[in-house]
Structure 1
Amino acid sequence: MFKNLVTSAVFAGVAVGVIAAALQFWMVTPLLLEGELYETGARVHFATDGSTQSDAGHPALFTEPARDLMTVGFNMITFTAFALLLAVGFALVERGGHEITAKGGLIWGLAGFIAMQLAPAVGLPPELPGTIAADVELRQVWWICTVLATALGLGLIAYGPMAAGLVGAALIAAPHVIGAPHLDTYFGVAAPELSAHFVAASLGTSAIAWALLGLFTAALWVKFKDA
């Protein structure tokens, strides 16, 4: 069981890490580099005379090689860790009498995306460089609580009785009822259109990566288990 768990997670995590990095280089990195131009003052959204100075331009797909290699490595390590968590979940639900399939793994992956990315982004969307935000420690606490509450809530809805499902729904809603920490006003150096594009691209690439992670991990889990 342990060998099956680790093997399926490592293979899936490495593969998805490479795919996620490629998607980020294509869809997210250019927007990130654009945001850094605004952060450093190399590009401004409005000049002092009120005239528009933004220029979408043609930002590069890549940064310096060392940074790009770190992005690939970080994605591989991160998604391997997430795949291990999924595999542990597979083992637990199989002990409870539930069968794991590749199609079911896809749903697990999407649930992971909801818990780790989408639910926290409702209160704290991905931010471009230079974005002014509330105290980082408060945001980290809210983010962690939201991830844990959402993951537990989804688990209760999926595998618990009706009453547990209601508790799960309440858990998912609780962090948003409390509210994420925010400043009293909105301001930043980058164009709001760029920020919106960055949020959409970040969440889109994460959704694809998580769906593939669930699919690959479950498919490999079944393959190694039956081998």
Structure 2
Amino acid sequence: MSKNLLSSALFAGLIAGAVAALLQFVFVIPALLEGELYEGGERLHFLVDGSTQSERGAPGLGTKWGRHAMTVAFNMVTYTGYGLILAAAMVFARDKGVAKVSAKAGLIWGLAGFIAVQLAPAVGLPPELPGTPAAELAPRQIWWISTIVATAVALAMIAFARSGIWQIAGGILLILPHLIGAPHLDTYFGIAPPELSAEFVTLSLGMAAIGWATLGYFAAFFIERGES
């Protein structure tokens, strides 16, 4: 692995991680903190008599700066790791003569990474607010990892295969995990308002899409700049 590839992934990961953390602080974490109020019982969506007692609005970020610093660090480390994979894939595709490395193309690579790692698994296992009951962890992890791998391979087949048969096979592979289905409970046990859960899912995926696009753009930008 070349020095340029490593440095490109590092710089892109740090930038994307910082952007993602900032977006999470502004949009995602307020919804998360609001969900924690329902998890802890400070707020109740339904009372015993069936009436509602839901207030709108999240608490402030407060003084949990250690937790917030961990959020920033986690984003930077995670996006740097993703950046290594993404940059290696870009360079590999370029060396095979099936793709070019450019900042604009990097946006597409980043969004493809978002589809594989975030969007496709979220179709079956969307982001969950604190306190949301779910199926057993091991089956969910197996389905989640399998979906990421299947989606990444399928997108590569669709994008780079020269044979239509392989592209069709990629399309089948793309939907296969969802035909199998993710593990779920037989009923619903959510304690937070469904509107809040829907908002949390939307915000989480939307901000992740921006983070991945940023990662792809800067990974390609630094690779291209380092080789010029």
What range is the shorter-chain TM-score in? over 0.9
What is the distance in 2 between the residues matched to 1:94 and 1:58? 46
Which residues of structure 2 form unaligned runs of 5+?
none
Against the structure 1 CA distance between its residues 218 and 87, is the aligned structure 2 distance closer, same or farther, given a 3 Å change threshold? same
Aligned partners of 1:31 and 1:87: how far apart in 2? 32
- CA displacement at 1:94 relative to structure 2: 1.3
Offset at residue 62 of structure 1 (A)? 5.5
Q: Which residue does 2:95 correspond to in 1? A: 95
Alignment partner of 1:223 out of 222, 225, 228: 225
Partner of residue 193, structure 1:
195
Give the structure 2 partner of residue 184 of structure 1.
Answer: 186
* 1:52 CA displacement: 1.4
What is the match of residue 27 of structure 1? 27
**Stretch of structure 1 that moved more, 48-57 or 145-154:** 48-57
3-state SS in 2 of match to 1:129: coil
1:1-227 equivalences under 5 Å are 2-61=2-61, 64-97=64-97, 98-161=99-162, 162-226=164-228
The structure-2 alpha-carbon separation of the partners of 1:63 and 1:216, relative to structure 1 and needing over 3 Å to count, comes to farther
Write out per-residue CA displacement over residues 141-199 of structure 1, whole angstroms, 9 at most, x where no aligned residue.
00000000000000011111222111111111110000000111112111101000000
The amino acid of 2:2's aligned partner reads F
Distance of 1:219 and 1:122 partners within structure 2: 31
The alignment partner of 2:55 has SS state of coil
TM-score (norm 1): 0.97
Superposition RMSD in Å = 1.1
% identity of equivalent residues: 57
For residues 85 and 148 of structure 1, what CA distance do their matches in structure 2 show?
13
Secondary structure at the counterpart of residue 107 of structure 1: helix
Deviation at 1:123, TM superposition (A): 0.4
Once superposed, which parts of structure 1, at least 4 consecutive aligned residues long, lie more than 4 Å away? none
Equivalent pairs, count: 226
The residue matched to 1:45 in structure 2 has which SS?
strand
CA contact (8 A) 2:34 2:58 kept: no
The answer to whether the 8 A contact 2:38-2:191 is kept is: yes
Write the deviation string for residues 5-37 of structure 1: whole angstroms up to 9, x where unpaired: 001000000011011000000111011111111
Measured after TM superposition, the shift of residue 222 of structure 1 is: 0.3
Q: Report if aligned partners of 2:12, 2:83 keep a CA contact under 8 Å in 1.
A: yes
Q: Deviations over 1:41-99 (max 9, x none)?
A: 11100111222100013421456010000000000000000000011101211111132
Please give the alpha-carbon distance, in whole angstroms, between the structure 2 residues aligned to 1:133 and 1:81: 28
Structure 2 distance, partners of 1:144, 1:190, is 27
Task: Give SS of 2:44's match.
Answer: coil
Moved more, 50-59 or 4-13: 50-59
Instruction: Please state how far the C-alpha of 1:135 moved relative to its aligned partner.
Output: 0.6
Q: Which segments of 5 or more consecutive residues in structure 1 lack a partner in the other structure?
A: none
